[in-house]
Amino acid sequence: MSFQEQALRFHCQQAWLYGILHLPQQPISRGVLIVVGGPQYRVGSHRQFVLLARYLAERGIPVMRFDYRGMGDSDGAIQTFEHIAADLRCATDIFFEHCSALEEVIIWGLCDAASAALFYAHQDQRISGLILLNPWVRTEQGIAKAYLKHYYLKRLFSKEFWGKLISGKFNPLASIRSLYTFGKNSLQRAKPTSVEDQASSTCDLTASLPERMRTGLKSFKGRVLIIISGKDLTAHEFMDLIHTSTDWQKILKEKEVVFFHIQQADHTFSTREWRNQVAEQTVKSVLSW
């Protein structure tokens, strides 16, 4: 299906934000809002956003992608992913304004954009679904455990590692110090959060990032797809969190969250094969929900 691409400019708290609307000739009533996951090389994952948007638009799905405040071409001070609710609301407003067929929106976010989507979605009834890729749940304890499990243990069984050790090209003292640091951090316990804290607004920054994300998911009434890379530390940290948290397991089951794993993929799904799998799963979800 043919589609048009239109540049958009809109206000968000005294700042001009810029985006691109991909509007099919005959759009369906469910659109996709692509959220940027932090500063990245424009021809890297940002190129993927362009290709994904066009892939969806060719299949009748209206898409909007934009830079939130301080990002890319948009004005304003740089915002962290924890503080872009206003940007997401303004983007959703302008999306509806320029696509008359639109009745609901699915937010698509990679990494910390996935986290931002979880914070925001339950606050806006127009958001009917979330497609989250390698969600960012970074804590000092979580990344330490991920390194120990998915990096250091694998290195011990690596032929390359033992070759460097025997040839003297490897500094064991530096690695031992690093291993000690990660081991110590992995044994630290996160500060407990009361039930009252967990039930409060997701903007409560006193709770840990994983707890706030879980609260956001619990409050959201729509459908959720989570796409996970098999060779990405951020994805490993998220999956380790799920496997060790009965609270996360419970909410994922209650919400009937669907997982799709791409075992060989890196963080940004950088090959054509991985990119196409992401696009196909996105279309499948958007059209079937």
In a domain, 14, yes or no: yes
pLDDT attached to residue 163 = 59
Say how many residues make up the chain: 289
In a domain, 167, yes or no: no
User: Residue 4 is inside which H or E element, if any?
Assistant: strand 3-12
pLDDT attached to residue 193 = 39
pLDDT attached to residue 240 = 93
Helical ranges in 157-208 per DSSP H = 159-167, 172-187, 195-199
pLDDT attached to residue 192 = 41
pLDDT attached to residue 200 = 37
The Cα-based distances of 46 to 203, 225, 244, 268, 269 in angstroms read 27, 21, 33, 9, 11
* Domain of 93, in residue numbers: 3-138+207-288
List the chain residues with pLDDT less than 50: 176, 179, 182, 186, 189-202
In a domain, 217, yes or no: yes
In a domain, 93, yes or no: yes
In a domain, 112, yes or no: yes
pLDDT attached to residue 259 = 98
In a domain, 176, yes or no: no
Number of compact structural domains in the chain? 1
In a domain, 232, yes or no: yes
pLDDT attached to residue 73 = 87
CATH label of the domain that carries residue 267: 3.40.50.1820
In a domain, 21, yes or no: yes
pLDDT attached to residue 251 = 98
Strands (E), 36-74: 63-67
pLDDT attached to residue 149 = 61
